[in-house]
């Protein structure tokens, strides 16, 4: 009997969700633009609320008066509300955040890709090319963030498809691929 491989099904599920998200982004460009702005605004508001809550928890439990957490929490809530009401600004800032994330992840995985040579030259080359595309996409976004506003669905859709494909490939290779 053959050996059963221990697949990371959560990684596979994340890959499938990213691929489906990429397809959705490509097929619904207007919805993608507004959804990203809303998600970014909501995430910022939630981070602000968590900081405000942690301020009160620390104050009650340890009598610590950390006004930085309270101030930052309030500022984040205000910024989140602003992003929800001004999606164009949210998406332009999102472009820089996404660019940095893509570049750092691409570099990180390129530096660790030497171990993939054991799985064959074709897989190693394919994954290396995908990571280089992530880096190039990030660099383009840093220098031309307006492109994201103009072609958000195309860029996000393709990058999600690439990222999801990496997750799926690594799942079946038995490699832990971290976000």
Is 144 within the bounds of a domain?
A: yes
Rounded to an integer, what distance in angstroms lies between the CA atom of residue 170 and that of residue 116?
10
Q: Which residues contact 23 (CB under 8 A, 6 or more apart)?
A: 157, 161
Is 179 within the bounds of a domain?
A: no
In a structure prediction context, what are the per-residue pLDDT tens digits for the chain, which is 179 residues long?
Answer: 444 455 667 778 888 888 888 888 888 877 777 777 787 788 888 888 888 888 887 777 666 666 777 888 899 899 889 888 887 777 667 778 778 888 988 898 888 777 778 888 888 898 899 999 999 999 988 888 777 666 777 878 888 889 888 888 888 877 665 55
Q: What is the dihedral of CA 151, 152, 153, 159, to 10 degrees?
A: 110
Q: What is the DSSP string of 96-121?
A: HHHHHHHHHHHHHHHHTGGGGGGG-H
Give the pLDDT confidence score for residue 74 in this predicted structure: 93
- Tally the domains of the chain: 1
Rounded to whole angstroms, what are the CA distances from 8 to 14, 108, 169, 171?
A: 10, 20, 11, 6
Is 178 within the bounds of a domain?
A: no
Is 1 within the bounds of a domain?
A: no
Give the pLDDT confidence score for residue 177 in this predicted structure: 56
Is 132 within the bounds of a domain?
A: yes
Rounded to an integer, what distance in angstroms lies between the CA atom of residue 170 and that of residue 179?
12
End-to-end Cα distance, the chain = 34
Give the pLDDT confidence score for residue 22 in this predicted structure: 85
Give the pLDDT confidence score for residue 148 in this predicted structure: 67
Is 162 within the bounds of a domain?
A: yes
Domain that holds residue 169: 9-173
Is 107 within the bounds of a domain?
A: yes
Give the pLDDT confidence score for residue 1 in this predicted structure: 45
Give the pLDDT confidence score for residue 33 in this predicted structure: 73
Name the pTM for this structure: 0.48
Is 98 within the bounds of a domain?
A: yes
């Amino acid at each position: 009997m053959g050996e059963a491989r221990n697949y990371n099904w959560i990684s596979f599920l994340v890959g499938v969700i990213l691929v489906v998200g990429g397809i959705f982004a490509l097929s619904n460009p207007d919805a993608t633009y507004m959804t990203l702005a809303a998600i970014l605004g909501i995430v910022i508001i939630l981070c602000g609320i968590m900081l405000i809550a942690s301020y009160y928890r620390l104050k009650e439990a340890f009598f610590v008066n950390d006004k930085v957490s309270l101030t930052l929490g309030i500022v984040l809530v205000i910024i989140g509300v602003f992003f929800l009401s001004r999606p164009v600004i949210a998406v332009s800032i999102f472009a820089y955040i996404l660019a940095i994330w893509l570049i750092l992840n691409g570099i990180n995985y390129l530096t660790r890709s030497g171990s993939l040579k054991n799985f064959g030259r074709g897989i190693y080359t394919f994954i290396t090319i995908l990571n280089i595309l992530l880096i190039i996409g990030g660099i383009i976004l840093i220098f031309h963030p307006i492109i994201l506003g103009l072609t958000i669905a195309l860029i996000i859709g393709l990058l999600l498809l690439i990222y999801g494909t990496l997750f799926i490939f690594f799942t079946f290779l038995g490699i832990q691929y971290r976000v």
